[in-house]
Amino acid sequence: MNIKILSKITMVALLSLLPISSFALKLIVIDARSAQLKAGASIDSDTVVVLKEGERATLVGPDGKSVTLKGPFNGPAMPANSTAADPKAALAALVNTRDARTSSVGVIRAGADAAKLPEPWLIDMSRPGTRCMLEGQSPVWWRPESDHEDKFTVFPVDRSWRADFTWVVGQDRQDVPKIARFGGPNTFVIRRDNQEYAITITVIPKEIDSDLVLSSFMLEKACIQQADALLAKIKHDLDRPQ
């Protein structure tokens, strides 16, 4: 047998003995207290991350799996054996993550017991807590019950302005005028029925185009109600006949 052909056969045989090759996955930085990383940035999983004492970063992969790195740390963002997961397996893992998070203290505020949203990006104005909004989108207020008229007022924390809103009978959502710039976490005070409570809106980078990653981001930011709606949408899409 030709030596060159034998060499090629040997190489193929050796490669077949190796595990399925891992490859660099695109990761999104969800949160970062680091000079190297910025929230919303995209990095490869084999990027060497250096964190000093007290620094930390939370990253999420395309399957929605997140990892939190704490300094001191010097190594790849995710292990070299990270591989893309099956979408249904990734969804199941996210649901388990959601259930684990909502079994802890503070789930009522986070929205585990809130009314189901008909769409993931609606902002429930009926209760306090954290909401998520996609960068570049205009927020849409929502309420779970639309069988009565209702009024509410929105203030920034410093009370530098106010905006009055009215729900009419049969109305469950409102487009929000440009009352503020949504460039980062924005906290508003809501006055309704002589009571006040706070809603914080977290902006998710528009570069994220994966529903699994968006769901993980929402869970990390405690937007449980919206994550539930998006997870339900993902399940519906996966169960749809191809």
Taking only the tens place, the pLDDT of each residue in 34-62 is 888 888 788 888 899 999 999 999 888 88
CA distances from 129 to 114, 123, 148 (A): 11, 10, 23
Q: Residue 108: is its pLDDT beyond 50? A: no
- Give the per-residue pLDDT at 97: 81
Mean per-residue pLDDT for 83-90?
A: 73
Structure confidence at residue 184 (pLDDT): 62
Helices in the chain by DSSP H: which ranges? 3-17, 87-101, 107-110, 211-220, 224-239
Residue 203 is which amino acid? V
Query: Phi and psi of 67, rounded to 5°?
Result: -140, 140
Does the pLDDT at position 141 exceed 90? yes
DSSP state of 85: P
How much is the pTM? 0.77
Give mean pLDDT, residues 162-183: 87
Average pLDDT of the segment spanning 74-94: 77
Q: What share of the chain has pLDDT > 70, as a percent?
A: 81
pLDDT attached to residue 195: 94
Closest by CA to 47, choosing from 88, 76, 13, 23, is 76
pLDDT digits (tens, 9 = 90+) for 206-240: 888 889 989 999 998 899 999 999 999 999 998 88
For position 12, what pLDDT does the model report? Answer: 38
CA 5 to chain centroid? 52
Over residues 117-122, mean pLDDT: 96
